Amino acid sequence: MKISAESIWGDLVRIRESAPLVHNITNYVVMNPTANALLALGASPVMAHALEEAAEMVTMAGALVVNIGTLSPPWVQGMHRAILRAKELQIPVVLDPVGAGATPYRNRTLRELLEKGGADIIRGNASEIQAMVDAEATTRGVDSSAAAEESLQAAQSLAERESCTVCVSGAVDYIVDGAQVYRVHNGDPLMTRVTGMGCTASAFCGAFAAVNPHFPAAAAHAMAVMGIAGELAMEQACGPGSLQLHFIDAVYNLNREQIAAKWQVKP
C-alpha cells in the first residue's frame, strides 16, 4: 500500500469517527500519558490487566496493545490470556518489548508471548529489536543504543521469523513487513526526553490497526502522526515538559493541511 498524506488523513478520520476501543495492558509509568494520547487521537482507551477479565475486555476492542515495561507474573498471565483471545477473534495485537535484552526474565517473557500467542505488529527501539533477534545482545534498560539503520536487518529477521510487521523507532522509523519497508522521517529528538513516547507510538499503532487491516501501512500512519504532532509541538515547546503538553494538543487538533505540509514517509 502506498503511503500518502491522504492515506494518513483517511485513517485518522476513521479513528475519530469510529473511536475504536484500544485495550492496553501496559506499564505503570506510561498508563496516564498513553490514555491521554489515545483520547486526543480520537480512540477510546481501556486498561485492564487482570487474568479475571483480560479475555472478556479484549472482545470489545478494536486492537490489543501489550507492553512489558513493568512486567510481573500476574500481569504476564493477563497478557497471555488477552493475546490468545485477540488471536481467536482476529483482533490486531501490538507488542511493545520494552527493555528487551535487559534481563533474562524479559527475554523469556517475550519469547513465550510470541510462541504461545504472537503479535501482528512489534514496535520497539533499535536496541530492543536487536535483542529480540540476537540473544547475545544486551540493552541498557529502556534506552536505545544501537543505530537504527543498522537494526533494519534485525527488524527484517524478526518480521520474517514472527510473520508480522516490525516497527523500529528512532531518528528514522523503519516499518518492515516481508519485503516491504517504510521509512518515517518525522519527529524530533526531544521526544526521547519525554517518558512513554515510544509506548504511545505502540498504542497509536493499535489505534491505526483497528481501522486499517494493512498493518504495515497502519504502523507507518501511526508513526507519521506521532512525528508530525511532535514537530508541531516543538514549535511551541520550551523543554520536555511543555513538549508533552503541546504534543497532546497537536494530536487532538491535527488537520489535513498540517499532515500534507509535514509528512515524510518514504519507501
Count, residues near a copy of itself per rule CB under 8 A: 63
Residue 222 binding a copy of itself, by CB under 8 A? no
Alpha helices, H only, 163-264: 197-211, 215-234, 240-253, 256-262
Letters for 237-256 (x = contact with a copy of itself by CB under 8 A, - = none) are: -xxxxx-xxxxxxxxxx---
CB of 180 to a copy of itself, least distance (A): 33
Gyration radius of the chain over CA positions: 17
Question: Which span (116-124, 153-161, 181-189, 191-199) binds a copy of itself, by CB under 8 A?
Answer: 191-199
Using DSSP's 3-state secondary structure scheme, residue 119 falls into coil
Residue 225 binding a copy of itself, by CB under 8 A? no
Nearer to a copy of itself, 101 or 216 (CB): 101
Question: Which span (15-23, 83-91, 126-134, 154-162) binds a copy of itself, by CB under 8 A?
Answer: 15-23
Can you point out the beta strands (E) in the chain?
A: 21-25, 44-47, 63-67, 93-96, 121-125, 165-169, 173-177, 180-184, 265-266
Cα distances from 66 to residues 6, 94, 200, 209, 243, in angstroms, run 29, 6, 12, 14, 25
Residue 213 binding a copy of itself, by CB under 8 A? no
Q: Are strands 121-125 and 21-25 parallel, antiparallel or unpaired?
A: unpaired
Position among 10, 16, 18, 47 found at the interface with a copy of itself (CB under 8 A): 47
Binding site for a copy of itself (CB under 8 A): 19, 21, 23, 27-33, 35-36, 39-40, 44-50, 52-53, 56-57, 60-61, 69-74, 99, 102-106, 140-143, 192-196, 238-242, 244-253
